[in-house]
């Protein structure tokens, strides 16, 4: 846990140093330490929040650095280091296997070699396929030169699959709000990245035998489908008549834009609609979707759909008066109950404290500050447009929040202080009154 924490810390420091190089900044622009640190953290933590315009502030070299940080963040620093050791040495130590297992959320060590290679293979296949589709679309439909189209295709493909949300356009993807090729292509890659590698690998091996899917895979697929539908419906209904968002679009374009924004809200951070012009009620619904996030062991953030689903099943079990939590024909381990509650309490408490601090520092309203805070913690990257307006202290708080959100509340706490220990005794049991 400590090495994973230090790995991300060192990678962030290296990315900050590289972005401070004069060659990383476009002519006529200057990058100070705070801007470099914020951008490097946002890229490595695959968040997408920005304090400067990625497409105009950074040179091609700077954009390449950001792209590398995104890919590193997607793979996981420890997983990436293990892969390098595998290639160079041709073998893995037990320590390296344990580190990679902790980062990739692998339950076994025997097949770690094939797991890591599978992660690389799947990632590259999806990224290359989407890059080709986007490059052709940009060149044929938007009159980009071949070189520019390929670069934009590669950059946005990697950013999408890794759920980073970085774009080379000042308005993100608002210029493609009615383009089904770009919108659905990016959405497909984001959903796959947000499912998590264990789910993708199991679907690849046992796609035709759902009865053999694990509880984890079933929960992820069920929760992801439900949240995508609910998110699309929410944006569609609440923004239907808003003249600054869905209002001017045709009915099919409204459906496409609502689906695209639903996908982005849970994991990525691109936007095809003006987030700052949305209704406050929509912001609140998006806060919840961002807080839930995607699946574990993938490129998404948030408390994870499995955590949210486990809590729902715990509540359902209590309402029924049952003694055990059963999900899809399997009994849930009681240790998972405690883990889910711990994650939600830590995440909620952290978001509450940072939101209060940012409101005090900036004087901005609660709905905008809460949206920004949840987006940073959940490594989503959506913004109502206040990130660059925050004071330096506020931006540093978001940097810390993005870092904690990517590494994970429990991992972060464990890396700093906590140790698992066994007690040789149990105290007498007693029940307080709840509710």
Task: Report DSSP letters for 175-187, one per residue.
Answer: GGTT-HHHHHHHH
Burial label, 14 (beta-carbon count in 10 A; 0-12, 13-18, 19+): middle
Could you tell me the two tokens for 130?
């989407």
Q: In DSSP terms, which residues pair with 330 in a beta bridge?
A: 327
* Backbone phi and psi for residue 330, each to the nearest 5 degrees, phi listed first: -130, 145
Nearest to 130 by CA among 152, 157, 150: 157
Average pLDDT over every residue of 73-81: 68
pTM value?
0.87
Residue boundaries of the structural domains of the chain? 2-309+332-416
197 or 308, higher pLDDT = 308
Structure confidence at residue 106 (pLDDT): 54
- 205 to 122, 210, 211, 299, 313: CA distances (angstroms): 13, 11, 13, 21, 28
- What is the model's pLDDT at position 322? 84
| Sign of the four-CA dihedral 317, 322, 327, 332 | positive
Which residues have C-beta within 8 Å of that of residue 86, sequence separation ≥ 6?
92, 113, 116, 117
Tokens of 386: 């206040």
Residues 251 and 294: their CA atoms lie apart, in Å, by: 28
244-292 residue pLDDT tens:
999 999 999 999 999 999 999 987 889 999 999 999 999 999 999 999 9
206-231 pLDDT tens trace: 888 888 888 888 999 999 999 999 99
Q: What pLDDT was estimated at residue 432?
A: 86
Distance CA 410, CA 45 (A): 16
The contacts of residue 372 (CB under 8 Å, 6+ apart) are 49, 358, 383, 384, 386, 387, 390, 398
* Residue 300 φ/ψ, nearest 5 degrees: -90, 170
Instruction: Tell me if 49 sits within 8 A of 387, measured CB to CB.
Output: yes
- For the chain, give the mean pLDDT: 86
């Amino acid at each position: 846990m400590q090495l994973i924490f230090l790995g991300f810390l060192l990678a962030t420091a290296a990315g900050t140093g590289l972005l401070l190089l004069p060659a990383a900044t476009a002519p006529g622009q200057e990058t100070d330490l705070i801007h470099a640190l914020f951008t490097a953290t946002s890229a490595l933590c695959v968040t997408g929040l920005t304090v400067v315009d990625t497409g105009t502030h950074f040179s091609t070299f700077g954009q390449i650095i950001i792209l590398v940080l995104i890919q590193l963040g997607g793979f996981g620093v420890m997983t990436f280091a293990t892969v390098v050791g595998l290639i160079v040495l041709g073998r893995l130590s037990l320590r390296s296997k344990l580190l990679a297992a902790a980062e990739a959320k692998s339950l076994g060590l025997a097949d770690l070699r094939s797991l890591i290679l599978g992660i690389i293979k799947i990632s590259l296949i999806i990224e290359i396929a989407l890059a080709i589709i986007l490059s052709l679309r940009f060149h044929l439909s938007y009159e980009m030169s071949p070189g520019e189209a390929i670069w934009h295709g590669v950059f946005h493909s990697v950013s999408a699959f890794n759920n980073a949300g970085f774009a080379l356009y000042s308005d993100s993807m608002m210029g493609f709000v009615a383009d089904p090729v770009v919108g659905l292509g990016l959405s497909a890659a984001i959903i796959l990245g947000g499912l998590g590698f264990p789910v993708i690998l199991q679907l690849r091996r046992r796609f035709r035998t759902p009865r053999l899917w694990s509880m984890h895979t079933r929960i992820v697929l069920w929760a992801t489908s439900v949240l995508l539908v609910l998110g699309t419906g929410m944006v569609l209904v609440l923004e239907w008549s808003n003249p600054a968002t869905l209002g001017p679009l045709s009915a099919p374009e409204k459906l496409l834009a609502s689906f695209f924004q639903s996908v982005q809200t849970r994991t990525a951070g691109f936007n095809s609609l003006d987030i700052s012009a949305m209704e406050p009620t929509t912001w609140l619904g998006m806060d919840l979707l961002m807080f839930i996030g995607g699946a574990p062991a993938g490129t998404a953030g948030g408390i994870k759909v499995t955590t949210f689903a486990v809590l729902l099943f715990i509540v359902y079990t209590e309402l029924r008066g049952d003694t055990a939590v059963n999900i899809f024909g399997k009994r849930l381990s009681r240790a998972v109950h405690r883990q889910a509650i711990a994650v939600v309490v830590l995440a909620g408490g952290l978001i509450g404290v940072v939101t209060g601090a940012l409101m005090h520092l900036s004087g901005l309203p609660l709905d905008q500050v809460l949206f920004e805070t949840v987006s940073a913690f959940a490594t989503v990257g959506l913004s109502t447009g206040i990130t660059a307006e925050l004071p330096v202290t506020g931006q540093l708080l978001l940097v810390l929040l993005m870092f904690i959100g990517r590494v994970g509340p429990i991992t972060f706490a464990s890396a700093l202080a906590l140790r698992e220990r066994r007690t040789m005794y149990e105290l007498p049991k007693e029940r307080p009154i709840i509710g």
